[in-house]
Amino acid sequence: MCGIVGYIGSKEVVSVLIDGLKHLEYRGYDSAGIAVLHNNTIEIRRSKGKLNELAEMVLAQPVPGNIGLGHTRWATHGRPSEENAHPHEDCKGEIVVVHNGIVENYLSLKDELQARGHVFVSETDTEVFAHLIEEEFTDDLYAAVQRALKKVKGTYALGVMSLKAPGQIIAARFDSPLIVGLGKDEYFIASDVPAILNHTRDVIFLDNGEIAVLKQDGVKITNLDGEEKEKAVVRITWNAAQAEKAGYRHFMLKEIFEQPIAIEDTIRTRLGEDNIHLEEMELSEQQLNEIEKVVIIACGTSWHAGLVGKFIIEELARIPVEVDIASEFRYRSPIISGKTLTLAISQSGETADTMAGIRQAKASGSKIISICNVLGSSIPRESDGTIYTHAGPEIGVASTKAFTAQLTALYLLAIYLGRKRGAIGAERTKELINELRRLPHLAGNILKEDANLKKLAHEFSYYKDFLYLGRGINYPIALEGALKLKEISYIHAEGYPAGEMKHGPIALIDEDMPVVTIAVHSKTYDKMLGNIEEVKARDGIVIALATEGDTEVAKKADHVIYIPHAMEIFSPILTIIPLQLLAYYIADKKGCDVDQPRNLAKSVTVE
Ligand code: M6R
């Protein structure tokens, strides 16, 4: 995690850095700092807490200059504190570094450096970079960084600046994302695109083992052995405004409301009349026909999308699907072969566990397809093909629009596989496509219920525990609804397959336990009605999701949220929306920091 940004050019660097860090706060926000090189000095400002604290500090003690580095931290080694905040310095204060990642051999490196007289002032792993570069420096900063990197084991996105080489920034990447932004006589580094979008849309995505040298007159990129690399410049099509709140109280609320357009943009250009265009799968007809099993790996909300994906792919493509939490998958011995298709789902494309999972699957001969929202991020770059979701930047830590866009991509994939392999014919495909086209509109209708959901949420903001129940394709939505509530409101919530209630959770039910039941029309509708009865018989409070026009559920439940009618297979993309709003309004009512909940980060690039 952590976010880094750097600038060299003619603008006052502090405003560029602070603005960049604001757009990276989703990566971590327990402390922040900047370093500015000016008139033969390096000025550092660092503070514990949110970025605002740092912004106020630099307002009170301004720092002029046109070259600098910034960092927003999510602690891994060393508690959040001013001393542990980046940038970190060498012994003489001549070299500064900002870093995202983990130096795995930092303890042995630190011991060796201390034995040679280096004095460490922080508890971080990052500080070893500053001292290593100090030791390796003779007359060339680039060469010193290059040699230092060869001694380090672990992951890094690194920015380095030195008084001994004043007109340059050195940047390097290994397994932590880093981009170089190209402006007119100005250059940037950043962990992610939104950090520099106010200045440029032309970016280079660094690959593992690459080092960039940024000077006022240009950028040079090499590998660790110093061989120069030709890199493609990618033009970013979305703009900075898409990453702003646009009048909403929080990014999360804005992103919930952006779901109709995220779904629309994800299906746009991919729907034929009775077929799906997914050429980006990069698999031949033969490879598609040879798939014997799909293995989905993902974390958190993306894992929930994968659980829904199992239902969809098995039903439409008739291929067996296994779904694994990536952090579990990587430490067992999964049975993967050349006939397994591994599908990695990740909003950020940077989740370390998911990345490790795809490497393991690849080593067993599996083809890798990813579903990802961030262009050029690491997971797509290690995949054979990527189905990009077009949700636009998701800033709120709690994933919302990326989830519904992932579900949309899974529908596209399942129909595509089913059609190519002959599991579904032209007529069924047409029906499914027609229903897909309706989804943005149906999602929009649910959002019109916003005011009612807000009222309901306020009534329930005082409860301490919630149970979420669903069956079949809506069981993962019960998990996702519960995750949304717990991560932003800190209320304990559990998702369960409703049929399991009688095997344990029923013991929890009493008048203090709201139970959210997903009881839309489905194969298991009657069973859900039974579950509602069971909860009511034990004085539980039922908030039910039901299909528009259903009068039965209203007779049994305490509160009903209506969902427009849709084919059962598409219902998860609709049922999740009110649950997101419910969680949002409960958390906001409780005064929680919705976009940046405690202890979480948007992109989990550490194990
Ligand atoms: O970027 P990814 O989709 O790989 O992230 C996976 C999880 O870290 C993420 O979904 C997390 O669970 C969110 N906070 C959920 O809202």
SS (H, E, C) 60-86: HCCCCCCEEEEEEECCCCCCCCCCCCC
Q: Residue 591 — pLDDT band, cuts 50, 70, 90?
A: very high
The DSSP bridge pattern shows strands 67-73 and 3-8 to be antiparallel
| SS3 (DSSP) at 98 | strand
- Is residue 233 situated within a structural domain? yes
Mean pLDDT of 31-45: 95
- Ligand 1: atom nearest CA of 354 is 4
Can you tell me which residue has the tokens 């952590």? 2
Residue range 405-418: mean pLDDT, rounded: 98
Q: Which amino acid is at 70?
A: G
Average pLDDT (82-90) is 95
Nearest one of 446, 57, 538 to 260, comparing CA atoms:
446
161 falls within a domain: yes
Please identify which of the residues 2, 299, 372, 592 carries the catalytic annotation. Answer: 2
**Rounded to the nearest whole angstrom, what is the distance from the C-alpha of residue 477 to the centroid of ligand 1?**
15
Greatest distance between any 2 Cα atoms in the chain = 80
Strand order across the 559-563 sheet: 492-497, 465-470, 514-518, 541-547, 559-563
| Average pLDDT along the chain | 94
Give the residue from 185, 216, 243 where a domain finishes.
243
Give dist(CA 206, CA 195) in Å, integer. 16
- Same domain membership, residue 460 and residue 427: no
At 61, which CATH number? 3.60.20.10
Peptide bond into 64 cis (omega under 30): no
Q: Could you tell me if 317 and 436 lie in one domain? A: yes
- Per-residue pLDDT at 69 exceeds 80: yes
Cβ proximity of 253 and 451 under 8 Å? no
CATH code at position 391 = 3.40.50.10490
Cα–Cα distance list, 198 to 17, 242, 244 (Å): 11, 11, 11
State which ligand 1 atom lies nearest to the alpha carbon of 603: 1
Which amino acid is present at 392? G
> Does residue 594 fall inside a structural domain?
no
Cα–Cα distance, 287 to 340 (Å, whole number): 10
| Bridge partner residues of 169 (DSSP) | 214
81, part of any domain: yes
- State the pLDDT at residue 112: 97
Over residues 154-172, the pLDDT tens digits come to: 989 999 999 999 999 999 9
Place of tokens 């229903």: 435
Average of pLDDT values for 456-475? 96
The total number of residues written for the chain in this structure: 607
Q: Could you give the CA distance from residue 530 to residue 575 in angstroms, rounded to a whole number? A: 19
Specify the DSSP class assigned to residue 387. E
pLDDT tens digits, one per residue of 304-360: 999 999 999 999 999 999 999 999 998 888 999 999 999 999 999 999 999 999 999
CB of 354 sitting under 6 A from ligand 1: yes
Residue given tokens 């069973």 in the structure block: 527
CA distances from 142 to 110, 138, 170 (A): 22, 10, 6
Same domain, 8 and 121: yes
CA proximity to 72, closest of 99, 44, 94, 96: 99
Nearest atom of ligand 1 to the alpha carbon of 299? 6
Q: Is residue 290 located within the same domain as residue 377?
A: yes
What does the pLDDT read at residue 77? 82
pLDDT tens digits along 484-514: 999 999 999 999 999 998 898 889 999 999 9
pLDDT band at 243 (very low <50, low <70, confident <90, very high): low
Q: Does 238 share its domain with 264?
A: no
**Looking at ligand 1, which residue's alpha carbon is closest to its atom 4?**
346
Q: Tell me if 103 is assigned to some domain.
A: yes
Q: Is the pLDDT of residue 241 over 70?
A: no
Among protein residues, the one with the nearest Cα to ligand 1's atom 16 is: 398
Candidate of 399, 596, 600 to mutate for ligand 1, largest count of ligand atoms within 8 Å of Cβ: 399
Contact between 180 and 189 under an 8 Å Cβ cutoff? The reply is yes
pLDDT digit string, tens, across residues 190-236: 998 989 999 999 999 999 999 999 999 999 999 999 999 999 999 98
Q: What is the 3-class SS of 14-25, one letter each residue?
A: HHHHHHHHHCCH
Kindly state the helix (H) or strand (E) to which residue 543 belongs, with its residue range.
strand 541-547
Residue 412 and residue 558 share a domain: no
- The residue out of 398, 422, 447 marking a domain boundary is 447
Residues 200, 308: one domain? Answer: no
Q: Comparing 411-420, 561-570, 594-603, which segment has the lowest mean pLDDT?
A: 594-603
Q: Report how far residue 115's alpha carbon sits from residue 123's, in angstroms, rounded to the nearest whole number.
A: 17
Rounded CA-CA distance 189/203 in Å is 9
Q: Does residue 394 surpass a pLDDT of 70? A: yes
Same-domain status, 325 and 425: yes
What is the distance of C-alpha 13 from the center of its chain?
28
| Residue 602 falls in the annotated catalytic set | yes
Does ligand 1 lie within 6 Å of residue 580's CB atom? Answer: no
Residue tagged active-site, from 367, 484, 556, 602? 602
Instruction: Based on the fold, state whether residues 496 and 362 are members of the same structural domain.
Output: no
Which of 395, 428, 447 terminates a domain? The answer is 447
CA angle in degrees (0–180, nearest 5) for 544-545-546:
110
The verdict on 354 and 433 lying in the same domain is yes
606 within some domain: no
The answer as to whether 540 is a domain residue is: yes
Structure tokens at 321: 């699907």
- Is 480 part of a structural domain of the chain? yes
> Tokens at residue 229, please?
């690399």
Say which residues have a Cβ less than 8 Å from residue 364's Cβ, sequence separation at least 6.
Answer: 334, 336, 337, 340
Domain count within the chain: 3
Please work out whether the CB of residue 378 comes within 6 Å of at least one atom of ligand 1.
no
Question: Would you give the distance in Å from CA 86 to the centre of its chain?
Answer: 23
| Per-residue pLDDT, 492 | 97
Residues 434 and 485 in one domain: no
Find the Cα–Cα–Cα–Cα dihedral 140, 143, 148, 153, rounded to 10°: 150
Specify whether 2 is catalytic.
yes
Whole-number Å distance, alpha carbon 441 to ligand 1 midpoint, is 26
Q: How many CB atoms lie within 10 A of CB 123?
A: 13
Model confidence pLDDT, tens digit, residues 511-540: 999 999 999 999 999 999 999 999 999 999
Nearest to 319 by CA among 277, 274, 288: 288
Q: Which domain holds residue 171?
A: 3-243
pLDDT tier, 482 (very low <50, low <70, confident <90, very high otherwise): very high
Percent of the chain topping pLDDT 90: 85
Judgement on whether residues 33 and 63 belong to the same structural domain of the protein? yes
**pLDDT given for residue 1 in this prediction:** 63
